[in-house]
Amino acid sequence: MYGATKRANELMAHSYAHLFNLPCTGLRFFTVYGPWGRPDMVLSKFTGAMLRGQPIRVFNHGRSTRDFTYIDDVAEAVVRAMDKPATPSGTFAAATPDPAISSAPFRTYNVACGRTVPLMHYISVIEQCLGVKADIRLEPLQAGDVPDTTADVSDFARDFGFTPSTPVETGIEQFVKWYREYHRV
């Protein structure tokens, strides 16, 4: 359902672009993390549990990978996209459509680092930053989840001259610093 609702939003935006010539640019964010992140996301959940000495549930038996994107990189991408509204593509071909472009002023872009990070490495970085060893409970892949994500960010890099690049080691360190200050732990 999660992916279907995202795609439905893109289709509605495309319809508005087509019907009303309203420039619409969709940004597909990949596993955003950092200070002030949602408390239900894995970085916050794992950090809190590890500091409390509680186990963490790691799905797909720890074999998943993600294209993690630090919040500062996401903010930079949004600012760059705001300054360049979508225009109709001169290369759109109805016979062989590319869902990222259109004859309407519509575009979609992936916003990510464009590289995968094994979830177990991500956890080890959290451990290093916290100085705490995680009590890991390996579990099967959850229904509806995908084992791996990696974004092709070449279109965004070409059109906006920017590719997110904050390594997880730096991003998690910044998150842990914020988490400890905010939660006073």
Structure confidence at residue 48 (pLDDT): 98
Q: What is the DSSP letter of 140?
A: P
Structure confidence at residue 99 (pLDDT): 77
Q: How far apart are CA 65 and CA 121, in angstroms?
A: 9
Q: How far apart are CA 58 and CA 156, in angstroms?
A: 32
Structure confidence at residue 101 (pLDDT): 77
Contacts 24+ apart (CB under 8 A), 4-13: 10/99, 10/108, 13/106
Is the separation of the CB atoms in 64 and 120 below 8 Å?
no
Q: Which amino acid is at 35?
A: P
Structure confidence at residue 94 (pLDDT): 85
Structure confidence at residue 141 (pLDDT): 97
Q: Is 75 helix (H, G, I), strand (E, B) or coil?
A: helix
Structure confidence at residue 173 (pLDDT): 98
Please give the CATH number for the structural domain made up of 2-183. Answer: 3.40.50.720
Structure confidence at residue 65 (pLDDT): 98
Q: How far apart are CA 75 and CA 54, in angstroms?
A: 33
Active site residue 2: yes
Q: How far apart are CA 165 and CA 111, in angstroms?
A: 11
Structure confidence at residue 8 (pLDDT): 96
Catalytic entry in 2, 33, 70, 182: 2
Residue whose C-alpha is closest to residue 61's, from 119, 11, 8, 17? 119
| Annotated domain spans of the chain | 2-183
pLDDT (tens digit, 0 to 9) for every residue of the chain, 185 residues total? 888 999 999 999 999 999 999 999 999 999 999 999 999 999 999 999 999 999 999 999 999 999 999 999 999 999 999 999 999 988 888 899 887 779 999 999 999 999 999 999 999 999 999 999 999 999 999 998 999 999 999 999 999 999 999 999 999 999 999 999 999 99
